[in-house]
Structure 1
Amino acid sequence: MTLNPFNTLTGRMVLVTIGAVLLSYGIAFAIYANERGAALRRAAEQSVVERVAFTAERLRDTTAADRRALVESVRDYAIRYDIDETPRVSDGIGGGAGARIARGVAERLPNTQVWAQTRTVETRSRRFRMRDDRPPPLDQPPSAPAERDRRFAPPPDDAPRVRTTEVRLSVELSEGSWLNVRAHLPGPRPAPLSVLAAAIVSVIVVGVGAALVSRQIGRPLAQLTEAARALGSGQTNVTAPVSGPDDVRRASSAFNTMAERLGHQLNRQRQMLWALSHDLRTPITAIRLRAELIEDDAERQRLLASVQEMETLTEQALALARAGASEEARVVVDLAEIARTLCGELQDIGIAVSADAPTALMVECRPSEIARAARNLAENAAKYGGGGLMRVYRDGAHAVIEVSDDGPGVAPELLQQLTAPFFRADSARSSTINGAGLGLAIAQAIAEAHGGRLTLENRTPHGLSAKLILPA
């Protein structure tokens, strides 16, 4: 039987815990990324404000004839300056990053007209570096102009294109002189690897912790489940280990108390039934002896038949009381061999039951009890169906002993009652067959004592199929 780990307590607790941690990290990371991006944007915008305001102040202190030469000498990383007689932006300050930068420049330069425009463009990434674009060796330092030209050179044509925010500014220097600025704000930055690494480590640590905690709960529950299964199979001396958290310990203690009381009650009932069955043998034997002294043959036979029925009822009642409570050890046996041997013995005494069990099927069980249950099914098939076929086969994780007959079958509404003690559906089958009505009840008790079950169903077009299903 394949066990799905996500259907266990440990699997689900680990899954839920990891899911909760991932969700919380996702929300925290989204908030962090948003705040980080906003902080980087504010820092970049403030940098542009300071650099543009500083450049404008220098140009104002310079004569109009020298301003163009000064602008050409300014080499800024992401900002381009130009002097013109008219502003290139003349429709206000708009919104977004350009508006914030324009207001910042206007605050730094009082009584100055500042116009701004913002748009999103695609440019080549300046972070891209070609293999040949490396700094020279340390023993050959480049000249300052060469290094400056290399740093501020435009990116190569094969650089990847990225989306950035372009801000255009027009700052009035004096009448008829405007400083036109084009600045590119940096695009979104990748998430820091340290945050991702911390998230992965946290998920692993929390998952391992959840597995350990759930294991402390799951192991006592699994032991409690096994004890409950053993109690349900008819064992009376069953106890569950008291361990784990307080809630699980209380549940185990309550189960042990219940199992002890139930065991005492079952033992008392079985002992009483055994004693009653044993004590009935003495008066039944006395009645038989007196019946043998009756001279009238017909009367003697009727009385002996009644005595025989009482003996059969007593023996079957005792067998039902013992079903599932046998002290026989469980061993691994071949069910096919049991079926073949049993059918051979039944054929020797005139019961028409054949075996179809060519393949060995090894199962751990109490052999005598399984043989008793199979014998009851075979005798029922022979009595009520005129003969039967016993098949042994594997069905998934179960071993099946199926006894089928070609009799009239049973009314569907009576199928569930066939395993009840002393119930006989004689009206549906043969009213001439006598019996105590305990054969199927005994077979069901034996099957349940082995952790299995007994199923009954009608066959098509007629007949009955009884299946003794056991764990393989």
Structure 2
Amino acid sequence: MRRSLIVTVAAAVGIVLLAMMVPMAFLMSDYALEDRLTKAALEVQATETVVARQDAGSVAFYLDKINDGEDGITTTVLYPGDVADIGPDQGEDDRVAQVRSTGVARVDDVDDGTQLLVPVSRGGSTPAEESTAVIRVVVERPGVDSELFGGLAVLLLLGLALVVGSLLVADRLGRGFVEPIRAVAAHAGRLGAAGESVTDVEPVAVTGPAEVRELATALNRLVARIQTLLAREREANADISHRLRTPVTALRLRADSLADADERQRLSADLDDLQATIDAIIREARRSEREGLVASTDAVAVVRERVEYWRLLAEEQERDLTADLPPTPLPVRASAEDLAALVDVLLDNVFTHAPAPAAARVTVTARAEGGARIRVEDAGPGFPEGIGSPGRGVSGAGSTGLGLAIVEQTATSSGGGLLVDGSPLGGARVTVDLGVA
């Protein structure tokens, strides 16, 4: 906007200056020509006196003197008969013959400017053609290399000064529009920044033109409304967590009091599955509060941290757990907490369903389109036949199937996907693609 305003002002001022300076340049040229004509008229009067009263030698000396300057005025005396002409512009034409015969001066336009022809009688009060000399004064039209150049240079400098001044004013005016808009845009960007909580953002300053102030006021009102909704969401999540976990705890206490060990074990397992489902639901409900509007984290750092966490258990089971990680960070569109839970689910499946000491390997590579690809594979028995893309409640290994469903949801939410197939190690391989942050 600021640049567009400057370009518009520059174009408008340039057009106005061009429309003014071109006619003014011609007007200055006409004024300079008129000034030369006035000077030429004075020279004609002085030359008439010299021609009428002096001999040819005195006239030649006088003309050499006045023609020596660079004022664009050339004077020549044309004599009748066999008397030689004096001056740089010798030679007669029909106009000179007419002036000599009629005794009437004339002014004509010529190629280079204006020509003045004035008859001068040398033989008495009544001029005769054979005794009439003609003074020819040629006035050249001023060019840019004459005194007109100075005026045009001053005019050009004034025009440039006007353009520069108008651009400075336009820049100042544009800044008054742009800076408040940038402040509003930066405020809106902070609202969507990863790791930035909407509830912690201060209202944007309401400054600038009326339209920008109206926009800032509307944005502050919207943020306040979002903050209110998020506060209500947190309260609702906390209430849901309390209301769901309290009866589950009560059921667990009753299950522990059962005398039948098989029944007690079965109910405890069902309650564990129910507790895991409740935790997943609450976790998903708190996603916006946990991630913000745009989730982002380094996949390499999170995977490295979780592999080191599981390495202790792998050492206890004498299981070979290796990690192949790139040296550079790979930002992905997922929160650190969700990505850590994803890795934990995949490694937990390995430790649960691949008997020790079956080896496991975790690999992280960069995707061509951006983001990261995480592979977790083992040397265990692998997935049962027919298991491709897992679904909620579908496991094939006696569990709820909720873990891989959560992994798939995290992958698809980031713009990636999940693939389950066989591993070169002989067991199962889970490939998770995560989109770029």
User: Could you say which TM-score interval applies, normalised by the shorter chain?
Assistant: 0.5 to 0.7
How far residue 235 of structure 1 moved from its aligned partner, in angstroms, is 1.1
Aligned match of 1:33: 25
Distance 1:458 1:33 in 2: 77
1:380-438 CA distance string (max 9 Å, x none): 77699996523589x9xxxx87243389xxxxxxxxxxxxxxxxxx9862354412755
Confirm or deny that 1:90 pairs with 2:81: no
Aligned match of 1:374: 339
Rate the CA distance shift 1:253–1:291 in 2: closer, same or farther, 3 A: same
- Assess if the C-alpha contact under 8 Å between 2:342 and 2:407 holds in 1: yes
Aligned match of 2:74: 79
Calculate the TM-score normalised by the size of structure 2.
0.62
Distance 1:376 1:275 in 2: 23
Calculate the TM-score normalised by the size of structure 1.
0.58
Aligned match of 1:54: 45
How far residue 300 of structure 1 moved from its aligned partner, in angstroms, is 6.2
Is there any run of 5+ residues in structure 1 with no aligned partner, and where?
1-8, 94-105, 120-164, 364-368, 408-425, 446-453
The amino acid that maps onto 2:198 is Q
- 224-233 vs 378-387, which deviates more? 378-387
Is there any run of 5+ residues in structure 2 with no aligned partner, and where?
82-89, 121-127, 351-359, 378-385, 396-400, 420-429
Aligned match of 2:199: 236
Distance 2:361 2:287 in 1: 26
1:48-104 CA distance string (max 9 Å, x none): 3x24653675478x37x95785465244343121223389453669xxxxxxxxxxx
Structure 2 residue aligned with 1:184, among 140, 145, 153? 140
Equivalent residue runs for 1:131-280 within 5 Å: 165=112, 167=114, 170-173=117-120, 174-176=128-130, 177=132, 178-188=134-144, 189-192=148-151, 193-233=153-193, 234-238=197-201, 239-280=203-244
Distance 2:8 2:408 in 1: 47
Distance 2:411 2:432 in 1: 16
Aligned match of 1:358: 327
RMSD (Å) for aligned C-alpha atoms? 5.0
Confirm or deny that 1:465 pairs with 2:424: no
The amino acid that maps onto 1:229 is G
* Corresponding residue SS for 2:205: coil
Confirm or deny that 1:112 pairs with 2:104: yes
Confirm or deny that 1:42 pairs with 2:7: no
Distance 1:259 1:197 in 2: 52
How far residue 264 of structure 1 moved from its aligned partner, in angstroms, is 0.8
Confirm or deny that 1:456 pairs with 2:416: yes
Distance 1:384 1:28 in 2: 83
Rate the CA distance shift 1:114–1:36 in 2: closer, same or farther, 3 A: closer
Return the index of the structure with the highest Cα Rg. Answer: 2
Aligned match of 1:451: none
Distance 1:283 1:221 in 2: 53
Distance 2:322 2:409 in 1: 21
Distance 1:288 1:439 in 2: 28
- Assess if the C-alpha contact under 8 Å between 2:143 and 2:149 holds in 1: no
Structure 2 residue aligned with 1:435, among 394, 402, 405? 402
How far residue 261 of structure 1 moved from its aligned partner, in angstroms, is 1.5
Confirm or deny that 1:282 pairs with 2:246: yes
Rate the CA distance shift 1:183–1:37 in 2: closer, same or farther, 3 A: closer
1:109-166 CA distance string (max 9 Å, x none): x9626474623xxxxxxxxxxxxxxxxxxxxxxxxxxxxxxxxxxxxxxxxxxxxx36
How far residue 263 of structure 1 moved from its aligned partner, in angstroms, is 1.4
The amino acid that maps onto 2:434 is A
Distance 1:334 1:430 in 2: 26
Confirm or deny that 1:322 pairs with 2:286: yes
Rate the CA distance shift 1:264–1:57 in 2: closer, same or farther, 3 A: same
Indicate the percent of aligned positions where both proteins have the same amino acid: 17
Distance 2:349 2:137 in 1: 106
Equivalent residue runs for 1:370-409 within 5 Å: 370-378=335-343, 388-390=362-364, 402-405=372-375
Rate the CA distance shift 1:181–1:430 in 2: closer, same or farther, 3 A: same
How far residue 47 of structure 1 moved from its aligned partner, in angstroms, is 3.6
* Corresponding residue SS for 1:429: coil
The amino acid that maps onto 1:54 is Q
- Assess if the C-alpha contact under 8 Å between 2:2 and 2:174 holds in 1: yes
The amino acid that maps onto 1:184 is E
